[in-house]
């Protein structure tokens, strides 16, 4: 492995983890909102 990919790898991992966290928070918010909306409609 060249030094470039070695230094790049942790950066992409942290970026991916940050993206994953954003998606999890968004999904939790979205499902919570949908749940409230469904209860409001029914």
pLDDT of residue 21: 92
Q: Taking CA 18 as the corner, what is the angle to CA 5 and CA 30, rounded to the nearest 5 degrees?
A: 145
pLDDT of residue 32: 86
DSSP per-residue codes, 7-25: HHHHHHHHHHHHHHHHHHH
Domain residue spans of the chain: 1-42
Q: Is the pLDDT of residue 1 over 70?
A: no
Instruction: Summarize pLDDT for 3-42 with one digit per residue, the tens.
Output: 666 666 677 778 889 999 999 999 998 888 888 888 887 7
pLDDT of residue 5: 61
């Amino acid at each position: 492995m060249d030094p470039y990919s070695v230094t790049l790898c942790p950066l992409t991992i942290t970026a991916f983890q940050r993206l994953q966290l954003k998606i999890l928070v968004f999904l939790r918010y979205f499902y919570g909102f949908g749940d409230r909306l469904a209860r409001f409609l029914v």
